[in-house]
């Protein structure tokens, strides 16, 4: 991308489940070409925020906007069409399909061939299928899965499934990516490879909201960090100031006198 994605704005968002307030008056902005980290202890409301932005949940109150659209009123598929892609805590490949086919499935929003073209395998359909196959191969090379292109996705190791999730999200040609614990379960070399991929996406102008429990990973990678606890924002800012915040250290990182 040559131009940064428009900002995705979350303003005073609250989500209640009956008497439980999972998210309370949260505001944050995801800007094109920047990585925004969202951290906090279990139950802080981080994954709920991703579900609210992606349309899987509706906020009880507050505003969520992107590219001039009110995301509160849109179905998840419509939000994806605007250029907002997400990954999930539990990597879930399309079973019965190859690794390559899983990535190509992520391009479904961009298919232009009609039913007749598919049924009769018209030239425009074949050209489009060839272009998507080539693009899928490039994405697999980028995430280090080129050698597994023809393997059944269900046979991949846990770590490789994480990278397949990233590749499938990238296949949607997003402007904003919502990443729910992408580094969970990765070893050190895999985490470093993931960080390199995410930095490359940032350099291309893609904005990211990164939720993860790997604190060094988040603070080394992100341009800004928001910390949640019990559904509320307790700190936000650049990584250095957030890391040094005594409230954050007490609630999440450990006291100021402890090594983290």
Answer whether residue 108 shows pLDDT above 80: no
Confidence category of residue 121, pLDDT binned at 50, 70, 90:
low
Answer whether residue 256 shows pLDDT above 50: no
Confidence category of residue 156, pLDDT binned at 50, 70, 90:
very high
Q: What is the mean pLDDT of the chain?
A: 88
> What pLDDT was estimated at residue 130?
76
Confidence category of residue 116, pLDDT binned at 50, 70, 90:
very low
What burial letters (b/e) apply to 21-47, b meaning 16+ CB within 10 Å? bbbbebebbbbbbbbbbbbbeeebbbb
**% the chain with pLDDT above 70:** 86
Prediction pTM value: 0.88
Answer whether residue 112 shows pLDDT above 60: no
The residues with which 152 forms a beta bridge, in sequence order, are 98
> What pLDDT was estimated at residue 6?
64
> What pLDDT was estimated at residue 175?
94
Confidence category of residue 119, pLDDT binned at 50, 70, 90:
very low
What is the DSSP code (8-state) at residue 108? G
**% the chain with pLDDT above 90:** 73
The gap between the terminal CA atoms of the chain, to the nearest Å, is 37
- Where are the CATH 3.40.50.300 domain residues in the chain? 8-93+157-253
| DSSP-assigned letters across all residues of 60-129 | SEEEEEETTEEGGGS-HHHHHHHTEEE--SS----TTSBHHHHHHHTTGGG----HHHHHTT-HHHHHHH
Cα–Cα distance for residue pair 4/194, rounded to 1 Å: 21
Give residue-wise pLDDT tens across range 191-248. Answer: 999 999 999 999 999 999 999 999 999 999 999 999 999 999 999 999 999 999 998 8
Question: What's the CATH number for 8-93+157-253?
Answer: 3.40.50.300
- Least confident piece of the model among 93-102, 121-130, 144-153: 121-130
User: What is the CB-side half-sphere exposure of residue 204 using CA atoms within 13 A?
Assistant: 15
> What pLDDT was estimated at residue 5?
55
> What pLDDT was estimated at residue 258?
39
Give residue-wise pLDDT tens across range 68-102. Answer: 899 998 999 999 999 999 999 888 888 889 999 99
> What pLDDT was estimated at residue 209?
98
């Amino acid at each position: 991308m040559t131009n940064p994605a428009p900002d995705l704005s979350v303003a005073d968002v609250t989500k209640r489940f009956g008497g439980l307030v999972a998210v309370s008056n949260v505001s944050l902005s995801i800007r094109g070409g920047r990585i925004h980290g969202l951290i906090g202890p279990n139950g802080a409301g981080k994954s709920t925020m991703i579900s609210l932005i992606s349309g899987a949940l509706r906020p009880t109150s507050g505003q969520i906007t992107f590219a001039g659209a009110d995301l509160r009123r849109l179905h998840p598929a419509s939000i994806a069409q605007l250029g907002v892609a997400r990954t999930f805590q539990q990597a879930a490949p399309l079973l019965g399909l190859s690794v390559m086919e899983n990535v190509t499935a992520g391009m479904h929003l961009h298919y232009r061939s009609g039913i007749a073209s598919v049924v009769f395998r018209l030239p425009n359909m074949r050209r489009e299928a060839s272009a998507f196959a080539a693009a899928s191969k490039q994405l697999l090379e980028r995430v280090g899965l080129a050698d597994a292109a023809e393997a059944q996705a269900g046979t991949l190791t846990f770590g490789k499934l994480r990278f397949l999730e990233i590749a499938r999200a990238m296949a949607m040609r997003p402007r904003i990516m919502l990443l729910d614990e992408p580094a969970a379960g990765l070893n050190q070399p895999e985490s470093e490879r993931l960080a390199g991929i995410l930095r490359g996406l940032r350099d291309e102008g893609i904005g990211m909201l990164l939720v993860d429990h790997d604190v060094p990973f988040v603070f080394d990678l992100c341009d800004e960090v928001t910390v949640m606890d019990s559904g509320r924002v307790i700190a936000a800012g650049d990584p250095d100031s957030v890391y040094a915040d005594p409230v954050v250290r007490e609630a999440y990182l450990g006291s100021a006198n402890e090594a983290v």
